[in-house]
Amino acid sequence: MARRVDLHVLRLAAADDFETSVEVATGPSGVRLVTLAFHQARPFAVASVYFSPSAGSVSRYLADAEPPAALPPLAYAEMTTIGTTGPPVTSQFRYRPTTGLDGTGPRPGWDVFWVQRVSRDAVGRAGVVGMIDCWYPPSYMRSVREYLRDPRDGLTEPGATNLMGVQILFSAPNSSYEHTNFALVANRMSTGTDGHYFEQSEIWSERGELLITAQLLRRNQPNRETRNTPGVP
């Protein structure tokens, strides 16, 4: 089963057909590394997926990490939007943010929300990994939290960014991905420098199992002012 995914984006792709080339390297005891290159005349992204079978007769979940101290999903109101056109990905999910009107939430410095997939077409690991980057970027939500804490300075919207890379680790037993109705997502911006933003993301099951941890890298879109942002307080 898949244990880790690494994705590197070389350039923006067009909304058009693309080609994929695949290479498979096999190691001992069923370990495999699958490398994929995505092309539109030239490569625009490269990904590698690490597969490893179970190394024990019993699948156990052991963790020192704890989920954000959020209430169950139905304790929060579902987010609704009126008269706005959001990114296409948002139509695939229902959201229940946990941040209060004062900008505080169940894990200080993190943006935490419950998410529910509208369609059941993608299930298992594929269904959960699709929740990565389904929300506002942490650099934007950081500005929102600062505004909620002190509205006097107004809300400053960060410039647009491009997703340049993602590292994803699958950290729960296989069965945990098969029965995911709601998932609790926690995002934060670790730091930003030279026009690049370094982010962390966690996805938890309703039972408190850590399904996915991820590291994301974004970059300012070209021709935009480069910002130097210290770490999240």
- pLDDT the model gives residue 228: 38
Triad 222, 223, 224: Cα angle to 5°: 90
**Residue 47: HSE in the Cβ half-sphere, 13 Å Cα cutoff:** 15
pLDDT of residue 38: 97
Q: What is the pLDDT along the chain (233 residues), one digit of tens a residue?
A: 899 999 999 999 998 999 999 999 999 989 999 999 999 999 999 999 999 988 875 566 777 889 999 999 999 999 887 666 666 778 889 999 998 877 788 999 899 999 998 877 778 898 899 899 988 888 888 777 777 777 777 777 777 889 999 999 999 988 889 878 899 999 999 999 999 999 999 999 999 999 999 999 999 987 644 343 333 33
For residue 155, the model assigns a pLDDT of 74
pLDDT value, residue 67: 95
Position 59 scores a pLDDT of 62
Q: How far is CA 135 from CA 116, 164, 219, in A?
A: 12, 16, 17
Residue 37's nearest CA partner among 19, 49, 25, 24 is 19
Q: Is the dihedral of CA 166, 11, 90, 82 positive or negative?
A: positive
pLDDT given for residue 58 in this prediction? 59
Residues 208-231: b if buried by 16+ CB within 10 A, e if exposed: ebbbbbbebbbbbeeeeeeeeeee
Strands 93-97 and 42-51: unpaired
Map out the domains of the chain with their CATH numbers: 1-53 (3.10.129.10), 71-233 (2.40.160.210)
Can you give the pLDDT at residue 82? 66
CA-nearest of 56, 32, 23 to 174 is: 56
